[in-house]
């Protein structure tokens, strides 16, 4: 595989995302018995129900993750991506290293809500980073791919029901308080992932109405390194000829263009819109 700047960035992002998931799961989910679905939630339940000293929650989590990887290799063939394999193994190894170097006999604090926020927030941020580059830490995501390939099931709904069942089981295994925290964490998790992904992809769509488009387009092309589309228009009230410029920029570039317009064309009309899905050269690939 050719090593490029883009592949290096993706490798670093995969490592960061898997590390965030590992830290949230090991330091906050496991010691508090937060069972918010997925492999980590199932591991929390099994770690409590199986009375074997050599089978800690971390070990069970690693075993299940690796079993899913083997299942993926057997049933998904070439559709089973390198990114998911790497992230799954890195996530598993990190949790095992944490368990050897930093054994957790009790939660870090006595503030359960604070622990839940970190236990849900860190994995959500990590998962969002991974999903954004087409990767994941495996587990139930591999199961989803298998179900999608071999059945006509509504995979999203099936996995959601499984997660609800796992989180709901903690009501009976760990008690009402921990069970309710687990269900709350499950509800927050998906919302956080969507929010983080949208934030990571957020760009600014600029629509500028001006009498002098050339200096603005030159600044966009040369200083910002972006493209723009220009078309003629007419003011509805004045009937004067104007030009409309459309461009899409990163947040930093948007600030630069806004400052440029304020200084060089203060009469220009600006419409700035947030967008998390812009497809084309320099942005997301369709």
pLDDT in tens, 2-44: 567 778 888 899 999 999 999 999 999 999 999 988 889 989 9
| Residues 89, 77: Cα–Cα separation, whole Å | 18
- pLDDT given at position 254: 85
Q: Which CATH architecture has domain 203-275?
A: 2-Layer Sandwich (3.30)
The string of DSSP letters for 129-175 reads: HHHHTT----THHHHHHHHHHH----HHHHHHHHHHHHHHHHHHHT-
- pLDDT given at position 231: 92
Task: Determine phi and psi for 193, rounding to 5 degrees.
Answer: -60, -50
Please state the pTM of the whole predicted model. 0.74
pLDDT in tens, 97-115: 999 999 988 999 999 999 9
Average pLDDT score over residue span 167-181: 92
Q: Residue 209: beta bridge partners?
A: 244, 269
Task: Provide the pLDDT confidence category of residue 83 given band limits of 50, 70 and 90.
Answer: confident
Average pLDDT score over residue span 49-54: 81
- pLDDT given at position 286: 45
| Residues 227, 131: Cα–Cα separation, whole Å | 28
Answer with the residue of higher pLDDT: 269 or 193: 269
Strands (E), the chain: 203-210, 229-234, 241-249, 269-275
User: Of the candidates 248, 23, 285, which has an alpha carbon nearest to the alpha carbon of residue 132?
Assistant: 285
Burial 242-262 (b: 16+ CB within 10 A, else e): bbbbebbbeeebbeebbebbe
- Residue for token digits 């989590």? 61
Q: End-to-end distance of the chain based on CA atoms, in angstroms?
A: 23
- pLDDT given at position 177: 93
Task: Provide the pLDDT confidence category of residue 92 given band limits of 50, 70 and 90.
Answer: very high
| Residues 152, 285: Cα–Cα separation, whole Å | 28
Average pLDDT score over residue span 183-205: 79
What is the torsional sign of CA 270, 276, 280, 282? positive
| Residues 280, 268: Cα–Cα separation, whole Å | 26
Do the beta carbons of residue 216 and residue 256 sit within 8 Å? Answer: no
Do the beta carbons of residue 61 and residue 99 sit within 8 Å? Answer: no
Answer with the residue of higher pLDDT: 189 or 113: 113
The domain locations on the chain are 5-200, 203-275
Name the DSSP letter for residue 79. G
Please state, in angstroms and as integers, the Cα–Cα distance from residue 7 to each residue in 1, 4, 14, 79, 126, following that order: 9, 5, 10, 19, 18
pLDDT in tens, 60-75: 999 998 888 888 777 7
| Residues 115, 119: Cα–Cα separation, whole Å | 6
pLDDT in tens, 236-257: 888 889 999 999 888 788 888 9
């Amino acid at each position: 595989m050719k090593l490029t700047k883009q592949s290096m960035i993706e490798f670093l992002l995969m490592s960061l995302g898997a590390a965030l998931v590992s830290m949230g799961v090991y330091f906050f989910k496991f010691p508090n018995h937060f069972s918010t679905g997925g492999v980590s939630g199932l591991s929390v339940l099994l770690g409590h129900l199986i009375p074997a000293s050599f089978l800690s929650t971390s070990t069970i989590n690693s075993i299940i993750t690796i079993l899913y990887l083997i299942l993926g290799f057997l049933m998904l063939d070439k559709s089973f991506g390198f990114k998911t394999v790497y992230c799954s193994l890195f996530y598993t190894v990190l949790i095992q290293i944490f368990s050897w170097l930093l054994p957790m006999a009790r939660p870090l604090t006595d503030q359960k809500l604070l622990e839940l926020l970190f236990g849900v927030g860190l994995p959500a941020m990590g998962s969002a980073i991974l999903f954004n580059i087409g990767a994941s830490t495996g587990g139930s995501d591999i199961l989803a791919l298998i179900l999608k390939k071999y059945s006509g099931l509504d995979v999203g709904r099936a996995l959601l029901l499984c997660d609800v069942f796992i989180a709901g089981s903690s009501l009976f295994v760990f008690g009402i308080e921990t069970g309710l925290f687990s269900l709350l964490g499950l509800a927050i998790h998906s919302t956080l992932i969507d929010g983080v992904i949208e934030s990571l992809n957020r760009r600014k769509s600029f629509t500028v109405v001006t009498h002098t488009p050339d200096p603005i387009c030159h600044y966009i092309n040369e200083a910002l390194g972006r493209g723009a589309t220009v078309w003629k228009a007419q003011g509805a009230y004045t009937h004067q000829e104007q030009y409309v410029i459309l461009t899409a920029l990163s947040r930093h570039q948007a600030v630069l263009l806004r400052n440029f317009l304020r200084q060089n064309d203060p009469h220009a009309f600006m419409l700035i819109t947030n967008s998390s899905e812009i497809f084309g050269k320099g942005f997301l690939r369709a």
